[in-house]
Structure 1
């Protein structure tokens, strides 16, 4: 299986079409026999859980049966890769509106949890060894009764993550503003990620509160090996020359 995250950035004058795409893209993805799971999402401004939406930036997350060996990354432009993954309609739409895109190709190595009641990755170990760069997807459905507590603490954690040693980049994404939220982050190595996750005081406090106060009705945590990265967002590819 191939997991992919594509970050899409529209120009300001095309924001209406970005909203429209979140409706229209569902149809080719529904009929895409290669996609076994997909989500269309918006983005937050600060690279993590965020109440403030970035209306220019959107995301597609998918899990498909495309084999990595079938995607010759060195010979693929971003447009061609998106066509391969999501189909001609989505590829042509993004080209027509001159969208900037970056696509991460990912191999899941460990994780647990559900996404809308579904097990996205079959038979993943809860712990596994991973050398080199690591990507982490953390997502949750926040209980309505716990929204105030959640958003009271999350901003401080997001700021700490951006300053952490070994942090490369992150994206705040989500299906429903304020309620269904996810963070996709990239770290230089597993040690750097664990140092932040388990050694940073504010982050540990939030983790303990989520469990003690039962903030989430559902959550999922997955670590990935990054096997490819094509494209840019805001002119930057954070993994250029590093894979």
Structure 2
């Protein structure tokens, strides 16, 4: 492991790794969005310290759980709905546009990668997307504005699908919900083809997503980890830094 303690060293080392890569892949977690005003999940004040996650089976089985899930979602929208892509998001969009990055795999559900300009066909969302909703029965898509209008008009009752009366849920993956097969397959293909795998803002404790860095390393890729706290994979990484993500990636941001 090469631990870069100072910012300049981290920037230089990452640039060297990117210059030597032909198929780099970024893997992002909540830490890339904290600069944008969106708290992470586990640290003090994080989202999971404020609200215990609602498991998928509880959401499906109980109307009260669906009501509470949507109450939380719209409360979060009030606090974080105006978030814009940060330096990390914009740096990855630029690297992708320049052909220096093959794709982005993300655990995030905030839609900020798309907002930064990364197209859907180059982005893998392992945990879904919280910027719209779907019916769990028929798969019909609903915009959040549709859900919110009916939620508020009914005094806080979660709406059901207009087509089949099925439960409507944000298009995210909850605890106990099956991972999306198509996205997992896309992530696997990107990971195995990578010669550089850059972890950005992930604690690497949520599986199966957290297994991708290890698979990349075992397949021969170099591994870089940019995260505020230590991870279980630091010892096998070719570069580790605790410097702020936006600061490390600032040289790659397109300010035009």
Q: Same fold (TM over 0.5)?
A: no
- TM norm structure 2: 0.27
Considering fraction of residues, name the structure with more helix.
Answer: 2
Q: State the TM-score, normalizing by the size of structure 1.
A: 0.28
Larger CA Rg, structure 1 vs 2: 2
Which structure is higher in strand share?
A: 1
